[in-house]
């Protein structure tokens, strides 16, 4: 069921550079920027310096900001989704935190890392309350995700930083420009925060490969599974937390689109359809979990068209009891958490309510 009122959609495509949507590998890129130094914990990455861009402050931070079809910013204000004025240096979307009132973005498209087989850019933060942008890292950033908590005023991000010594990413936590604390070495770009911000799940690509969990404060990582994405995975794959079930969900492949891994590392399983067969729908690129409904919302490409599906799970998560395709569109974010989602398709932005479980 689509929700069309009171939502108003106003979209004007602005011709921003298209964001790459495949594996995190470039075949032809600009030369790499000077690498940021990555060192093991508990030392920090040396400061890279920062530059300031002053823009007109906004009356209030949007409750939602996402990247549009052409990479432009779309923001939700007062029930209206429309193109958002971007910082002067904006080129590529990283993440947005409504709690922090801050946009994480890059000022340049992807470029090659020093190893030549990974894609990186820089990392800036636009502060909606101050109306200014600050560069946090000048280069070698492969992904940025805001922590889910900002109640104490501290802004935390997890980021994949290219480690020149190992030729791979390290997973780090940053709270200020140019400084980061490495919590896991040889991590991939595929990572995610626990809903309470206490831990991070990530896929390690260097031996011993697998799916791991590490405390955000650092310490030994716990290996949960030998799972690692085939062929490096897709750009911005990330494990999905279901803490009330003690489970992480990861995207497997087209034959087995979902895998569940227990957070204590004791077991893993492939959810199936009621007849024991393959779960309907595409391999997910983006996933959201509606915990009260036991519903997984996901989008991926089926053939050449994006699709968003809703899977309703059994209590033990081993069976997908019902599957429904919401639309031929890409899942962007929650509109009302656990109730409705914002999708982006050929007709623009749409809000769809989740079906009754």
Tally of domains within the chain? 1
The most confident of 23-27, 115-119, 128-132, 328-332, by mean pLDDT: 328-332
Q: How much of the chain exceeds pLDDT 70, in percent?
A: 81
Asked whether residue 56 is domain-assigned, the answer is yes
The yes-or-no verdict on residue 1 having pLDDT over 90 is: no
Domain membership of residue 340 (yes or no) is: no
Residue 289 has pLDDT above 60, yes or no: yes
pLDDT above 90 (res 37): no
216 in a structural domain? no
Is it the case that residue 27 has pLDDT exceeding 70? Answer: no
Assign 228 a pLDDT band (cuts: 50, 70, 90): confident
* Nearest in space to 160 (alpha carbons), one of 195, 205, 116, 194: 205
* Amino acid 235: pLDDT: 67
Q: What distance in Å separates the CA atoms of residue 86 and residue 184, rounded to the nearest whole number? A: 33
Give the pLDDT confidence of 198-216 residue by residue, as tens digits: 999 999 988 999 999 999 9
Residue at 263 is within a domain: no
Is residue 31, in this structure, part of any structural domain at all? yes
Average the pLDDT over 170-196 and give the result: 94
At 61-86, the pLDDT tens digits run 999 999 999 999 999 998 899 999 99
Q: What is the DSSP string of 157-187?
A: EEEEEEETTTTEEEEEEEEETTEEEEEEEEE
What is the predicted pLDDT for the residue at 256? 83
183 inside domain: yes
Query: Taking phi first (over 0 means left), then psi (-120 to 50 degrees means alpha), and beta for anything else, what does residue 268 get?
Result: beta
Tell me what the pLDDT averaged over the chain comes to: 83
Identify the pLDDT of residue 20.
Answer: 30
Average pLDDT over residues 44-70: 57
Look up the domain containing 12 and give its range: 8-187
pLDDT recorded at residue 53: 28
Q: What is the pLDDT of residue 254?
A: 74
pLDDT at 253: 79
- Contact criterion met (CB below 8 Å) for 36 and 139: yes
**Amino acid 236: pLDDT:** 74
Average pLDDT over residues 110-124: 88
Residue 60: φ, ψ to 5°: -160, 150
- Global confidence as pTM: 0.83
Residue 224 lies in a domain: no
* Count of CB atoms situated within 10 Å of the CB of 82: 17
Kindly indicate the confidence band of residue 113, based on its pLDDT and cuts at 50, 70 and 90: confident
**Is residue 197 a part of any domain in this protein?**
no
């Amino acid at each position: 069921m689509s929700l069309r009122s009171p939502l108003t959609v106003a979209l004007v495509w602005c011709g921003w550079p298209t964001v790459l949507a495949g594996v995190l590998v470039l075949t032809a890129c600009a030369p790499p920027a000077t690498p940021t130094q990555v060192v093991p914990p508990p030392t920090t990455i040396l400061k890279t310096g920062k530059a300031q861009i002053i823009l007109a402050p906004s009356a209030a931070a949007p409750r939602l900001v996402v990247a549009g079809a052409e990479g432009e910013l779309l923001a939700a204000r007062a029930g209206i989704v429309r193109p958002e004025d971007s910082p002067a240096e904006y080129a590529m979307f990283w993440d947005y935190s409504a709690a922090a009132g801050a946009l994480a973005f890059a000022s340049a498209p992807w470029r090659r890392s020093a190893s030549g087989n990974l894609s990186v850019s820089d990392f800036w933060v636009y502060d909606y309350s101050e109306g200014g942008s600050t560069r946090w890292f000048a280069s070698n950033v492969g992904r940025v995700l805001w922590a889910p908590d900002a109640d104490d005023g501290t802004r935390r991000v997890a980021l994949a930083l290219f480690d020149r010594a190992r030729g791979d990413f390290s997973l780090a936590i940053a709270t200020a420009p140019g400084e980061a604390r490495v919590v896991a070495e040889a991590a991939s770009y595929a990572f995610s925060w626990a809903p309470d911000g206490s831990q991070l799940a990530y896929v390690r690509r260097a031996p011993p490969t697998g799916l791991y969990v590490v405390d955000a404060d650092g310490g030994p990582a716990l290996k949960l599974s030998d799972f690692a994405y085939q062929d490096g995975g897709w750009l911005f794959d990330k494990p999905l937390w279901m803490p009330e079930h003690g489970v992480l969900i990861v995207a497997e492949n087209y034959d087995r689109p979902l895998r569940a891994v227990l957070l204590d590392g004791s077991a893993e399983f492939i959810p199936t359809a009621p007849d024991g067969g393959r779960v309907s729908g595409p391999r997910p690129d983006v996933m959201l979990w509606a915990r009260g409904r036991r519903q997984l919302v996901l989008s991926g490409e089926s053939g050449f068209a994006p699709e968003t599906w809703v899977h309703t799970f059994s209590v033990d998560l081993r069976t997908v009891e019902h599957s429904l395709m919401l639309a031929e569109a890409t899942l962007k974010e929650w509109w009302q958490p656990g109730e409705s989602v914002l999708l982006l398709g050929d007709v623009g932005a749409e809000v769809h309510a989740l079906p009754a479980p």
